[in-house]
């Protein structure tokens, strides 16, 4: 009978997956992910792809907001940079997707570095407002630099191909999306338990103390901005290759808010939380739309108000999570696990 | 010269609407250190409320405006009680996200009650055109400037002479000391939110008179940020002057430069101010650096 989780040696303490049960659970999860596409309908596959892309973006934002404590409302702008860069590299220079996606992510990282510069002087809500301005400025540049981005017209990207196989089909893209999301999660999970990750957390918790114990706050803040924007740009580049069409409406301030909601609901400073949040926020509109279609014939009045219900639900979920469970779905999941681990002696 | 005057007056009238919304923002920030991302939705809600009272209930405009202000104030109270009070003492990100969630709920309410279509608004401000020093401007814009000035003057007096106004300043200055002097923070926060909602709703009514009622007027909510950063987050005169400067800048770049640059100028100003003088023109210098 266990009363909690205790370690008797350092190797065990430093492991990524500490408990045998965790290994079994992750194994089952991977198995489910591998089997899933062979049974899923195209609709579900499409949703799964959206979740995979959103997970990458949420991981990036969580690295910046959840781990380093730098509030950013510029997520949409960084995604836009990734998406447009990937599209332009493919259209203008004819680069294949496996080159254009990493290059676009690097580009987003560079822009992220640039917009991270104000963070050297600004903190908290001042930084949030600065990133809001960055978002507006990037949006404006994209819609007005017609020669490069196509302006308010859509930028059409040729479908990614490998050995003559079109990769933007739901089934084929699933493997790319899942692989990238998995690797990103592994990367973030490992990063945050390294020196860099601990420095990020130190800056979040108390920046003056962090600099007193030898963390170069300046350098690590910029590093956080660059790493975060790399992942965010990566998710943008994935969107460009999956949808094969890039429009600026996809990357407005609404997008920034959507991703902030994901990590708030999922759990700030949590890898699994980023995934949970991406799942919930992606499924919410899909579920409500499906309900709407079912009511279309029997009760058109209900179907008509559903878009507003969706908007209100989105806002209410954010507020309720903040008030009732500020640590998000990740904490709820932990509670469930703890309950069963120490059952029946929960105290 | 006429063009210049015309641009000046239209810029000023827009700027005064920004100032009205920004003042609500500043009041909340002063009292509770919360930045309110739902300020633009308060404005939209106010505009639609006045639309409902004037058109759907057929009230005369004086009663309609009064009713709008009362209902807006009640909504402000409700929001403070239900959303903000449970979050007192939480980190900045929680506060920001709570007001963002709130803005989503308010948007949905407006959409659900009045539908997404823009509506014609029975403009009750005089709509003729007036000649001022040779420039022709809409009378409604002049009235807007006048009304905004009066309201902002009243607010300044409120902060200087009334009990609640002084209590609000005391809390902004030092919460603990204010508490020990017997000031109720709950009451002051409730009053602050009610006043913010009311001033935004007046801005909404003004804007409805000039451009009509529609969802897109909540964009003004984002314009608030350049205004308050320029003026100083905790300064009411700053909000007024910041509103005027941003409104004028927009009008001049729109009139003389073009290329849609007027859409982005406020944010460029915002970034510059943050880099050079983060506390704005009139704000308190309390930014700490690392």
- Domain residue spans of chain A: 18-252
Convert A30-56 to b/e letters by CB count within 10 Å (16 or more is b).
Answer: eeeeeeebeebeeeebbbbbbbbbbbb
Between B220-231 and B39-51, two packed helices, what is the crossing angle to 10 degrees?
A: 130
State the pairing for strand pair A245-246/B135-138. unpaired
d(CA B194, CA B198): 6
Average pLDDT over residues B1-20: 81
Q: In this structure, is residue B230 part of a structural domain?
A: no
Cβ–Cβ contact A137 with B under 8 A: yes
User: How far from A57 is each of A50, A75, A171, B191, CA to CA, in Å?
Assistant: 11, 8, 21, 40
Confidence band of A4 (pLDDT split at 50, 70, 90)? low
The predicted-structure confidence for B79-133, as pLDDT tens digits, reads as follows 888 888 888 777 778 888 888 899 889 888 888 888 777 777 777 766 667 776 6
Contact A130 B98 (CB under 8 A): no
Residue at B83 is within a domain:
yes
Chains A and B form CB pairs within 8 A to the count of: 132
In this structure, are residues B164 and B191 in contact, taking their beta carbons and an 8 Å threshold?
yes
A133 and B267: CB-CB below 8 Å?
A: yes
Residue of A129, A257, A318 with shortest CB distance to B229: A129
By mean pLDDT, which of A319-328, B198-207, B215-224, B244-253 is the weakest? Answer: B215-224
In chain A, residues with a C-beta closer than 8 Å to the C-beta of B101 are 261, 314-319, 322
CA dihedral B224, B228, B234, B236 (to 10 degrees): -80
| Domains: count for chain B | 1
Residue A18 CA to residue A25 CA, distance in Å, equals: 12
Reported pTM: 0.86
Percent of chain B's residues with pLDDT above 70: 94
* Contact flag B274-A323 (C-beta cutoff 8 Å): no
Q: What is the C-alpha separation between A39 and A101, in angstroms, rounded?
A: 29
How many other CB atoms are found less than 10 A from the CB of residue B97? 27
Other C-beta atoms lying within 10 Å of the C-beta of residue A260: 26
pLDDT of residue A347: 60
CA-CA distance, A101 to A89, in Å (whole number)? 9
Does residue B173 fall inside a structural domain?
Answer: yes
CA distance A162 to B277: 52
**Mean pLDDT for chain B?**
82
Which residues in B lie closer than 8 A to residue A261 (C-beta atoms)?
97, 100-101
Is A126–B278 a contact, with Cβ atoms under 8 angstroms apart? Answer: yes
> Within an 8 Å CB–CB cutoff, is residue B19 touching chain A?
no
CB-based contact B111 A309, cutoff 8 Å: no
- Most confident of the following: A275-284, B135-144, B208-217: A275-284
Nearest to A70, CA basis, from A115, A111, A136, A133: A115
Cβ-contact B118, B214 below 8 angstroms: yes
Is the minimum CB–CB distance between A302 and chain B shorter than 8 Å?
Answer: no
Query: Model confidence over A185-199: pLDDT tens digits?
Result: 999 988 988 889 899
Mean pLDDT for chain A overall = 84
Contact residues, chain A, for B226 at CB < 8 Å: 133
CB contact under 8 A, B109 and A312: yes
Measured from the Cβ of residue A237, the count of other Cβ atoms closer than 10 Å reads 34
pLDDT at B146: 83
Strand partners, B135: B132
Say how far apart CA B281 and CA B290 lie, in whole Å: 22
Collapse the DSSP code of A121 into the 3-class scheme (helix H, G, I; strand E, B; otherwise coil) and give the result.
Answer: coil
- Flag whether B136 is in a domain: yes
Q: What pLDDT score was predicted for residue A231?
A: 92
pLDDT in tens, A93-104: 878 888 888 999
Looking at the domain assignment, is residue B118 inside a domain?
A: yes
What is the span of the domain harbouring residue B151?
Answer: 19-214
Please state the φ and ψ torsions of residue A145, each to the nearest 5 degrees: -90, 70
Interface contact A339, partner B, CB < 8 A: no
Return d(Cα B232, Cα B61) in angstroms, integer.
35
**If phi over 0 gives left and psi between -120 and 50 gives alpha, with beta otherwise, what is residue B115?**
left
Best A120, A202, A216, A308 residue to mutate vs chain B (most B CBs within 10 Å): A308
Residue whose C-alpha is closest to residue A233's, from A106, A63, A66:
A106
Cβ-Cβ contacts under 8 Å, B287 against chain A: 121-123, 126
* Measured torsion, CA atoms of residues A216, A221, A227, A232, in degrees rounded to the nearest 10: 170
User: What is the C-alpha radius of gyration for chain A, rounded to an integer number of angstroms?
Assistant: 21
Count CA within 13 A, CB hemisphere, residue A60: 33
Contacts of A41 (CB under 8 A, 6+ apart): none
| pLDDT(B74) > 90 | yes
Residue A307 with chain B: CB contacts under 8 Å:
111
B30 falls within a domain: yes
Question: Is the model's pLDDT at B289 over the cut of 60?
Answer: no
CA atoms within 13 A on the CB side of B27: 31
The reply to whether A140 touches chain B by the CB within 8 Å rule is yes
The whole-angstrom distance between A324's CA and the closest CA on chain B is 9
Confidence of residue A2 (pLDDT cuts 50, 70, 90): low
Determine the pLDDT at residue B268: 87
User: What residues 49-68 of chain B have any CB closer than 8 A to a CB of chain A?
Assistant: none
Residue B290 pLDDT > 50, yes or no?
no
Mean pLDDT (whole number) for B190-214 = 85
- 8 A C-beta contact, residue A305 and residue A313: no
Q: What percent of chain B has pLDDT over 90?
A: 3
| Residues in chain A within 8 Å Cβ distance of B229 | 126, 129
**d(C-alpha A153, C-alpha A84), whole Å:** 12
Q: Which long-range contacts (CB under 8 A, 24 or more apart) does A13-19 make?
A: A14/A193, A16/A189, A16/A190, A16/A193
For residue range B262-272, what is the model confidence (pLDDT) as tens digits? Answer: 788 888 888 88
Least-confidence region, from A53-57, A207-211, B91-95: B91-95
Distance from CA of B288 to the nearest CA of A (A): 8
B103–chain A nearest CA distance, Å: 7
Asked if the structure places residue B225 within a domain, the reply is no
Distance of CA A104 to the CA centre of its chain: 17
CB-CB under 8 Å, A129 with B104? no
A307 touches chain B (CB under 8 A): yes
Assess if residue B243 is contained within a domain: no
Q: Which of residues 242-261 of A touch B (CB under 8 A)?
A: 253, 257, 260-261
Three-class secondary structure assignment of chain B: CHHHHHHHHHHHHHHHHHHHHHHHHHHHHHHHCCCCCCHHHHHHHHHHHHHHHHHHCCCCHHHHHHHHHHHHHHHHHHHHHHHHHHHCCCCHHHHHHHHHHHHHHHHHHHHHHHCCCCECCCCCCCCCEEEECCEEEEHHHHHHHHHHHHHHHHHHHHHHHCHHHHHHHHHHHCHHHHHHCCCCHHHHHHHHHHHHHHHHHHHHHHHHHHHCECHHHHHHHHHHHHHHHHHCCCCHHHHHHHHHHHHHHHHHHHHHHCCCHHHCHHHHHHHHHHHHCCCCCCCCCCCCCC
Note whether B103 contacts A121, CB cutoff 8 Å.
no
Taking the CA of residue B112 and the nearest CA in chain A, the distance in Å comes to 6
User: Chain A partners of B270 at a C-beta cutoff of 8 Å?
Assistant: 129-130, 133
Please, which residues bridge with residue A259 across strands? none
pLDDT value for B134? 66
Q: For residue A82, which phi and psi values (nearest 5 degrees)?
A: -60, -45
| Contacts of B216 by beta carbon, 8 Å cutoff, 6+ apart | B118
């Amino acid at each position: 009978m266990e009363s909690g989780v205790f370690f008797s040696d350092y190797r065990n303490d430093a492991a990524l997956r500490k408990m045998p049960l965790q290994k079994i659970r992750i194994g089952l999860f991977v198995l489910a992910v591998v089997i899933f596409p062979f049974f899923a309908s195209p609709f579900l596959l499409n949703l799964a792809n959206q979740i995979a892309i959103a997970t990458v973006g949420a991981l990036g934002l969580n690295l910046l907001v959840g781990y380093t404590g730098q509030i950013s409302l510029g997520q949409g702008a960084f995604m836009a940079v990734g998406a447009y860069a990937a599209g332009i590299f493919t259209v203008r220079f004819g680069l294949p997707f496996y080159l254009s996606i990493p290059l676009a992510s690097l580009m987003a990282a560079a822009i992220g570095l640039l917009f991270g510069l104000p963070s050297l002087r600004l903190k908290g809500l001042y930084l949030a407002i600065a990133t809001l301005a960055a978002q507006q400025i990037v949006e404006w540049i994209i819609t007005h630099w017609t020669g490069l981005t196509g302006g308010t017209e859509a930028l059409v990207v040729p479908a990614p191909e490998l050995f003559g196989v079109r990769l933007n089909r739901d089934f084929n893209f699933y493997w790319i999306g899942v692989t990238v999301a998995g690797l990103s999660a592994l990367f973030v999970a490992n990063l945050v338990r390294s020196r860099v990750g601990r420095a990020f957390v130190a800056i979040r918790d108390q920046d003056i103390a962090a600099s007193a114990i030898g963390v170069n706050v300046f350098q690590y803040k910029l590093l956080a901005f660059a790493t975060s924007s790399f992942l965010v740009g990566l998710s943008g580049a994935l969107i460009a290759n999956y949808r094969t069409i890039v429009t600026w409406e996809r990357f407005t301030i609404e997008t920034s808010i959507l991703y902030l909601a994901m990590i708030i609901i999922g759990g700030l400073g949590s890898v699994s939380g980023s995934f949970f949040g991406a799942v919930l926020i992606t499924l919410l509109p899909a579920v409500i739309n499906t309900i709407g279609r079912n009511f279309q014939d029997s009760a058109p009045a209900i179907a008509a108000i559903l878009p507003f219900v969706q908007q209100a639900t989105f806002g209410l979920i954010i507020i309720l999570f903040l008030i009732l469970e500020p640590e998000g779905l990740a904490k709820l999941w932990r509670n469930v696990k703890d309950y069963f681990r120490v059952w029946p002696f929960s105290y | 010269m006429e063009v210049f005057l015309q641009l000046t007056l239209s810029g000023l009238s827009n700027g005064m609407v920004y100032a009205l919304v920004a003042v609500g923002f500043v009041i909340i920030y002063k009292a509770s250190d919360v930045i309110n991302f739902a300020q633009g939705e308060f404005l939209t809600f106010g505009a639609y409320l006045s639309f409902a009272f004037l058109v759907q209930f057929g009230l005369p405009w004086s009663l309609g405006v009064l009713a709008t202000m009362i209902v807006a104030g009640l909504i402000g109270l409700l929001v403070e009680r239900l959303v903000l009070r449970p979050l007192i003492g939480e980190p900045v990100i929680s506060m920001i996200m709570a007001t963002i969630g709130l803005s989503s709920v308010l948007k949905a309410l407006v959409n659900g009650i009045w539908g997404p279509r823009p509506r014609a608004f029975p403009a009750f401000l005089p709509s003729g055109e007036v000649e001022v020093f040779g420039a022709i401007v809409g009378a409604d814009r002049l009235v807007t400037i006048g009304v905004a000035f009066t309201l902002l003057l009243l607010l300044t007096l409120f902060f200087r002479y009334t009990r609640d106004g002084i209590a609000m300043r005391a809390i902004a200055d030092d919460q603990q000391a204010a508490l020990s002097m017997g000031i109720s923070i709950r009451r002051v926060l409730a009053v602050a939110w009610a006043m913010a909602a009311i001033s935004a709703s007046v801005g909404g009514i003004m804007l409805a008179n000039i451009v009509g009622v529609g969802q897109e007027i909540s964009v003004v909510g984002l314009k608030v940020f350049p205004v308050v950063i320029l003026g100083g987050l905790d300064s009411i005169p700053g909000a007024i002057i910041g509103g005027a400067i941003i409104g004028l800048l927009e009008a001049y770049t729109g009139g003389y430069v073009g290329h849609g640059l007027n859409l982005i100028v406020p944010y460029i100003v915002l970034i510059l101010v943050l880099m050079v003088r983060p506390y704005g023109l009139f704000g308190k210098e309390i930014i700490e650096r690392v």
